[in-house]
Amino acid sequence: MVEPGFYPRGHTPPRDRITFLFEGPRPGDGATDSMTQDTPPAEPGAGSDQEPRDFIREIVASDVASGRIQAPVTRFPPEPNGHLHVGHVKSIHLNFGVAADFGGRCHLRFDDTNPTKEEQEYIDAIERDVRWLGFDWGEYLYHASDYFERLYEWAVVLVKAGRAYVDDLTADQIREHRGTLTEPGRNSPWRDRSVEENLDLLDRMRKGEFPDGSRVLRAKIDMASGNINLRDPVMYRILHATHPRTGDAWCIYPTYDYAHGQSDAIEGITHSICTLEFEDHRPLYDWFVENLPVPSRPRQYEFARLNLTFTVLSKRFLLRLVNEGRVRGWDDPRMPTVSGLRRRGFPPEALRDFAKMVGVAKRESVVDYAALEYCVRNVLNKTSPRRMAVLRPLKVVVTNYPEGQVETFEVVNNPEDESAGTRPVAFARELWIEREDFMEDPPKKFFRLAPGREVRLRAAYFVTCQEVVKDASGEVVELRCTYDPLSRGGAAPDGRSPKATLHWVSAAHAVSGEVRLYDHLFTRPDPGAAGDLLADLSDRSEEILARCFFEPALADQPAGTRVQFERLGYFCVDPDATASRPVWNRIVTLRDTWSKVKAKGA
Ligand code: ATP
Ligand code: MG
C-alpha cells in the first residue's frame, strides 16, 4: 500500500496497467559498438496522418457546433502549495491547448484557499514554470482569494435559503457522522438551527470570535446520499492564519469544493477540466452552481491524471523529499518538478511533445518513463551541438606523435544540422580517453581499445594500443599507442576501418570540471507498491564525477546550455558552474550498445 495522503484526495495510481506508449529504442538497443547515433525511431503512431481528437476536444467541438458556446474558456487552477510537476504539464498543455485550438482563452487561477500551506514563493515559481513551458495567460491571471467576499455573500444566500448551517461538531465527530460507502451518515445535532442563529454564528465566525476548528459552515444536502461528497460537505472552516494575498482580512476560509466551482462561474469558465479523482465531486459542483445566483454555468469534465513509472507525482510527497533533505531542493535535477527538469536540461518543447504524445483519456494508466526520455532525445538530437568530454579519464600517450606538436581538426557540430557548422578541436601527443573504452582482456563483443588493437579517434587518427602501463596496485594508468599518420581525419587510404570510434580530449588543452549523472529517484517502476515509498528511494540516483575533462569549447558556458557529449548523452550546464569550473548535468543518456551486450551476457 502507498502511504496514505501522498496522492490527492485518496487517489492512488493503478498498479496493474502500465501503458508502454513508447516502443522505440531504449538504452541498450543497437547493433554495433561504434559511434552512437541518436537517430530517433519513427514517431509513435506514424502511419495514421490524422491525429485523433481527444474526448475533451470532441466535447468542446460539439459545444461550439451546437452554439452552446462561441469559444471555450478553460483554466489551469494550481494550489500554490508546492512546485509544478510533470503531471501538471499534462493539465497545462490540455487547458491551454484546448483554448488555443478553438480560439478561446485559458486562465491561470491560483486556488489559494489554504493559507497554512500556501506561499508566495510557490506562486512565483508556478508563474515562471508555466511561462517557461511556453504558455501565456495574458491578462487572465486570477486568484480564488479575489472572490472571498463574493463567496461569503453566496454562503449567506445558502444560509438564508436554509441550505447551509453552522455545525459545532469537531472534525472527528463530523467524520464519525459521515458514515461509510455502505452506510448512510447521521445528521448533526446542529443541523436544524434556525436561519437567524446560523446567520449570527456565521457572522461571528467571520469576525474571529471562535477558535480554529470549533465550528464549520456546511451545506445542507443529504446525509444519506450514496455520494459521500453530498453528505453536508464543509464550506468554511475557521483558520486564524495570514494569507499571502489577503493578509489577516479573513479567519474563515472556503474549502476547495465550495470555492472552485464558484470561481469557475465568476470567470465564465465553460469547461472546467480536472482529473478523475474529482468525478465524484461533480454532483456537488453542480449543486452549488444550481443553488447560487452565479453569473454562468460551467461544466466539469474529468480526465485521467498522468502517472509515470519510477516517479511519484504528488506535491505533498515532493515537499517531503525537500523538507527531509533527501534531494537538494525543488529544482534538484532528479525531481519530476518543472523546475527540476529545467535544471536537468529538459527542453520545454520536449515536455510539450510528451504531453501531446500521452494524450488525454478517461482511463487511468501509467506511462513508461522512457516515453518522456524519448521526447527529450528527439528534441535534443536536432538542436544540440556535439562536443567531446571524457568523464572517467584514462591517459593515452601517442608515442610516435612529435612532442610539442599540435594539430587542429575541424569537427562537425551537428550531423543533423549542417548550418551548425564546425569547430576547431586540438590534437596532441597526450590525450584523455574514457576508461571504459579500454579493456586489457576484452570479451568477444568488445570492439573498443585493447592491447594490439586499432581504433579510430573521432575526426583525428587511427591509434593502436602498444603498451599498457600500470601502477603498483595493478591499475591501468596509461596506454601507450602509436598512430597512423595516413589516417588523418579518420579515414585510411587503404580503406580499412576500425570497428570502434572513440571520443577523446587533448590533455594539454582540456578544461577540467564536474559532471553529475542522474538516474531514477526510485528503484522500482511502481514506487510505494511494497508498502513504503521512502524505502524505494534509490541511493544511486545521483553520481558526481569530480575529475572530468572537456574540450575547450565547453569552457565557461552559461547555465542552461545543452550539448551532446559524443557517445555519452546529452548534458546541460548547471547553475552551480563557475567560469573556472564547469558543472554539467546529464540530461539523458544516448542508447548505449555495450550495456545491452553486457546485460545479455550476464
Ligand atoms: P498534487 O497531488 O501533486 O498536489 P494536485 O491535483 O493537488 O496535485 P493542484 O495544484 O490542485 O495539484 O493541480 C492543478 C491542476 O493540475 C488540477 O486541475 C489537477 O487536476 C491537475 N493535475 C495535478 N496532478 C496531475 C497529474 N498527475 N496529471 C494530470 N493533471 C494533474
Ligand atoms: Mg491540490
Transcribe 459-521 into DSSP letters: TS-EEEEEEEEE-TTS-EEEEEEEEEGGGTTT--TT----S-EE-EEETTT-EEEEEEEE--S
Mutate to test the pocket of ligand 1, among 122, 275, 302, 337 (most ligand atoms within 8 A of CB): 275
Å from CA of 53 to ligand 1 middle: 22
From residue 87, give the alpha-carbon distance in Å to each of 131, 269, 366, 524: 16, 22, 11, 19
- Check whether 139 has a pLDDT greater than 70: yes
Contact between 111 and 79 under an 8 Å Cβ cutoff? The reply is yes
pLDDT of residue 417: 87
C-beta separation of 190 from 232 below 8 A: no
Q: Would you name the residues annotated as active-site residues?
A: 79, 305, 315
Q: Which of the four pLDDT bands, split at 50, 70 and 90, describes residue 47?
A: very low
Atom index in ligand 1 nearest the CA of residue 92 equals 16
User: What is the pLDDT at residue 601?
Assistant: 64
pLDDT tens digits, 55-83: 999 999 999 999 999 999 999 999 999 99
Tell me which ligand sits closest to the C-alpha of residue 109.
1
CA of 572 to the centre of ligand 2 (A): 31
Which residues are bridge partners to 586 per DSSP? 571
What is the biggest distance separating any 2 CA atoms in the chain, rounded to whole angstroms? 101
Residue 229 CA to ligand 2 centre (angstroms): 17
Residues written for the chain:
602
- Cell, residue 108: 491561470
CA gap 498, 33 in Å, rounded: 11
Is the pLDDT reported for residue 432 higher than 60?
Answer: yes
Asked if the model's pLDDT at residue 3 lies above 90, the reply is: no
Give the residue, by CA position, lying nearest to ligand 1 atom 4: 315
Distance linking the first and last C-alpha atoms of the chain: 33
Query: Does 544 have pLDDT greater than 70?
Result: yes
DSSP string, 146-194: GGHHHHHHHHHHHHHTT-EEEE---HHHHHHHT--SSS-----TTTT--
- Report the separation in Å between the CA atom of 237 and the middle of ligand 1, taken as the mean of its atom positions: 23
User: Which one-letter amino acid corresponds to residue 186?
Assistant: R
Q: Which pLDDT value is given to residue 12?
A: 45
pLDDT of amino acid 598: 60
Alpha-carbon distance of 228 to 480, in angstroms, equals 76
Grouping H, G, I as helix, E, B as strand and the rest as coil, residue 73 is strand
Cell numbers placing 54: 481527444
Sign for the pseudo-dihedral over CA of 238, 240, 245, 249: positive
Confidence of residue 37 (pLDDT cuts 50, 70, 90): very low
pLDDT for 413 equals 95
What pLDDT is stored for residue 350 in this prediction? 97
90-106 mean pLDDT: 98
Instruction: Give me the pLDDT at residue 445, please.
Output: 93
DSSP letters spanning 286-311: HHHHHHS--S---EEEEEPPP-BTT-
Please tell me the predicted confidence (pLDDT) of residue 416. 86
Residue to mutate (ligand 1; options 83, 88, 303, 330; most atoms within 8 A of CB): 88
Q: Which among 96, 54, 59, 58 is positioned nearest to 75, based on CA atoms?
A: 96
Are the C-beta atoms of residues 266 and 238 closer than 8 Å to each other?
A: no
- 3 Cβ partners below 8 Å, 6+ apart? 528, 532, 533
Instruction: Tell me the per-residue pLDDT of 458-516, one tens digit each, with 9 for 90 and over.
Output: 999 999 999 999 999 999 999 999 999 999 999 999 999 999 999 999 999 999 999 99
**Region 336-354 average pLDDT:** 98
pLDDT, position 369: 94
582 with 557: CB under 8 angstroms?
yes
Q: What share of the chain is helix, strand, coil (3-state, %, to 5)?
A: 30, 25, 50
DSSP helix/strand/coil, 268: coil
Class of residue 323 by CB neighbours under 10 A (exposed 0-12, middle 13-18, buried 19+): exposed
Asked whether 111 and 151 are in contact (CB, 8 A), the reply is no
pLDDT above 90 covers a percentage of the chain that reads 88
Q: Is the pLDDT of residue 92 over 90?
A: yes
For residue 46, is pLDDT > 70?
no
pLDDT higher than 60, residue 338: yes
Question: Which residue owns the Cα nearest ligand 1 atom 16?
Answer: 88
Residues with a CB atom less than 6 Å from ligand 1: 8, 77-79, 87-88, 90-91, 274-275, 305-306, 313-316
User: For residue 6, is pLDDT > 90?
Assistant: no
- The overall average pLDDT reported for the chain is 91
Cα(568)–Cα(8) distance, rounded to whole angstroms? 38
Q: For ligand 1, atom 2, which residue shows the shortest CA distance?
A: 314
pLDDT > 50? residue 20: no
Ligand with smallest separation from the Cα of 114? 2
pLDDT at residue 599, rounded to an integer:
66
Cell 483554448, residue located: 99
Residue 30: what pLDDT?
33
Q: How far is the CA of 81 from the centre of ligand 1 (A)?
A: 11
Q: Do β-strands 393-398 and 476-484 pair in parallel, antiparallel, or remain unpaired?
A: parallel
Which candidate, 480, 367, 468, 354, places its Cα nearest to that of 429? 480
- 49 against 483, higher pLDDT: 483
Residue nearest to ligand 1 atom 26, measured at CA: 87
Confidence (pLDDT) at 24: 39
Beta bridge partners of 272: 300
| Strand 422-427 with 407-412, pairing | antiparallel
Cell (9 digits) for 116? 497554512
SS3 state at 196: helix
Is-contact 355 93, C-beta < 8 A? yes
Neighbours of 302 (CB within 10 A): 18
In 188-260, which ranges are E strands? 216-219, 234-238, 252-254
- Whether 236 and 155 have beta carbons less than 8 Å apart is answered as yes
Query: Does the pLDDT of residue 387 top 90, yes or no?
Result: yes
Closest C-alpha to ligand 1, atom 25: 87
Q: What is the DSSP string of 324-344?
A: TTSSSSTT-TTS-BHHHHHHH
Q: Write out pLDDT tens, residues 240-283.
A: 999 999 999 999 999 999 999 999 999 999 999 999 999 999 99
Which one is predicted more confidently, 78 or 26?
78
